[in-house]
Structure formats: C-alpha cells, structure tokens
Amino acid sequence: MTHPRISSCLPAMLAVASLLGAYSCGGRTTEGDVQGADRTSGTDRAAVRVTVSESRDYNPTLFATGTLVADRRAELRALVAGDLERLPVDIGDHVREGDLLFQIRLVDYRLALQRAEAALTEAEAAVEDTERESRRLENLLADGAATEQMRDKAITANRLAKAAVERIRAARDTAAQQLEDATVNAPYSGVITSRFAEPGEFLKKGERVVEITDLAKLNAELDIPERFVGTISKEMPATLEFEAGVADAVGEVVAINPKVDRSSRTFRVKVEVENASRALSAGMFCTVRLGLPQEDALPAVLEAAVIRDEGRSTVWIVEDGVASQRLIDE
C-alpha cells in the first residue's frame, strides 16, 4: 500500500508568509516586480510578479490507497475424518445461512453412536443391579445374615458402576457430536470463494474444504502516516474511488489501530462500505478520500507559486526586496 498524501488543492500551508512569488513568462517589470539578478552586473534582470498572501480556512483532504477485504471470511474444515461424501457447492455459488456445504460419510459415525448408546444402556442396568445388591446385603446385615465386609463390597461395586455410566455417557455424547460434525452448513450467507477438496477424497480432521466470504460489507484497510494520529476518528465519512468504471462508494471509519508500526511509521485504519448490490468485490484496489478537521486562518498561495520537485514543495518569499525559497506543507 502506498502512503497517503494531503490533497494538493489550495490553499497550501506556510510556516511563514509575507510576500509570495508566482512565476510569469516574460513581461516587463511593474511597480510590484522584484529584480532577481545581481544589481551590480550589467546583465538582464528576470522579472517576477509578487502578491501578498491571504489567510483562509482550510478543509484538508487525506488521500490513501488500500484494498477491499471482506468483513467476514472463513475457511471451513473437516471436523471429523472420513470420505467426503457430499460437496454440493463450487466457487462463485451464493449460499444462505444454514445451507449444506459438505458432508463426511455418515454411516461409520451412526454405527459408533449406536454402539455407544448400547453400552450406556448396559452400564445403567449394571447400576440398578448393584443398587439392588446393596439394599439386599443391608437387610441381611441387619438380620445378622451378612457381614459388613460383604455390604461394603456391594457399595463399592455400585459406585464403580455409576462411574462407568458417566464414562460411557461421555463417550456416547462424543459419538453424537462427531455424527453432527460430519455435516457442515453455512455459518452465514455469502459466496463460496475457494474449494480445496473434491467428493470421494478421504479427509483428515482439520483439512480445508471450502471458503465462504460475506460480501455484504467490505473494509478498505489503509496505512496512515503517524503524523495524522489524532486527526482521524470513528464514523468519519469517506469516499472510495475505484478503477475500471466502478462507481464511487460512500463509507465510514469503523476501526483505528492505536499502535503505530515501528518499521513503516504508519497506523492501520479500516473504512467500511455497504455492498448490498454486490457491485464490489474483495481484493479490489481503491483510493479513499477522508475529509480532515477544518484548520482556520492559514496562509494561502496561488497554485502557480508552488514548485514541486522530488517530493518537496517550495515557494519563493520576498522580504525587504530579497527573494528566498522556503519549504511548505501541502
């Protein structure tokens, strides 16, 4: 990304200002002219026209270039391993929230859930048996027909049976979750922007399958020079310009990174733009105009007086009949 610049439209800002020169092509010297040649020489003197600078209110505009990125984008991965049985979407397809995106072979996970449920039923039956045995031995102990040791063993068996139920119930819940995870639906409405697998492939857990992008809102990410820290605020309006005949769009600042990057001496700003018509695409290059706060009573010069060379802007200032060149900020 290129660094932003202040709009070159005048008025420009001067550190000091008295009389500012504007070049003219030839012409005779008038009362307001300054002779720029050596007065002791006999050579011709170059004539320039001077004018008094004015103070004006200035509405600076910051220009920055950036790239549109989607407000929401997700790479959806296989949550369980298995054969990719269904993949009904492809790149460019529009999907709604809840639509099927892909499905891993279900039969193995259905069988695993059935086995887990059967094991849970057996474990719960074992708990009932140990509870009956504990009650029976408690009665026998009261009648003197059983020992305390026999009663304590029955209590321990009951506790172990209950622990087994909890362990098997957790395994059943895991099997149920895996069966559910084998089917992946769209988390939100959007467009399929990548497809990484094909039906019939065996997928490991965590492998990428598709990418979905929500294009309803896009963000222009801008890197702004640190000298503009404090001049940009949230909800500040912005105008986005595009190439290839795409119409301008209006957005607003939604995020400002308070951290300045050490290497680039810039900070990140996000400008959000609505894209309900889907006329814009993620990845598009854009130029963003931000209207900065008004600055009052700044010296102003004519456009023709500004000399721009190698990234610097200067004007000639005349004081006591002597002209000198001064740097200005635009």
DSSP secondary structure of 158-188? HHHHHHHHHHHHHHHHHHHHHHHHTEEE-SS
Residue 69 lies in a domain: yes
Q: What's the confidence (pLDDT) of residue 23?
A: 34
Residue 177 lies in a domain: yes
Residue 203 lies in a domain: no
Instruction: Name the domain count of the chain.
Output: 3
Mean pLDDT is lowest, of 100-109, 214-223, 295-304, for 295-304
| Average of per-residue pLDDT across 206-226 | 96
Q: What's the confidence (pLDDT) of residue 222?
A: 96
User: 228 and 275, same structural domain?
Assistant: yes
Residue 90 lies in a domain: no
Residue 258 lies in a domain: yes
**Residue ending a domain, choose from 135, 157, 181:** 181
User: 66 and 37, same structural domain?
Assistant: no
Residue 280 lies in a domain: yes
Percent of the chain with pLDDT over 90: 66
**Residue ending a domain, choose from 158, 181, 204:** 181
User: 122 and 65, same structural domain?
Assistant: no
Mean pLDDT, the chain, integer: 86
- DSSP letter string, 7-72: --PSPPB-SS-SEEEE--SS----TTEEE-S-TTS-SPPPEEEEEE-EEEEE--EEEEEEEEEEEE
User: 24 and 69, same structural domain?
Assistant: no
The residue type of 313 is S
Enumerate the H helices of the chain as residue ranges.
107-143, 148-181
Q: What is the CATH number of the domain that holds 176?
A: 1.10.287.470
- Cα 144 to chain center, whole Å? 77
User: 304 and 283, same structural domain?
Assistant: no
Write out the residue range of the structural domain in which residue 47 sits: 11-56+296-328
User: 303 and 276, same structural domain?
Assistant: no
Is residue 14 pLDDT above 70, yes or no?
no
User: 267 and 313, same structural domain?
Assistant: no
Q: Which residues, in sequence order, are bridge partners of residue 77?
A: 208
Specify the higher pLDDT residue, 49 or 79.
79
User: 173 and 113, same structural domain?
Assistant: yes
Residues 280 and 218 sit within 8 Å (Cβ to Cβ): yes
User: 234 and 252, same structural domain?
Assistant: yes
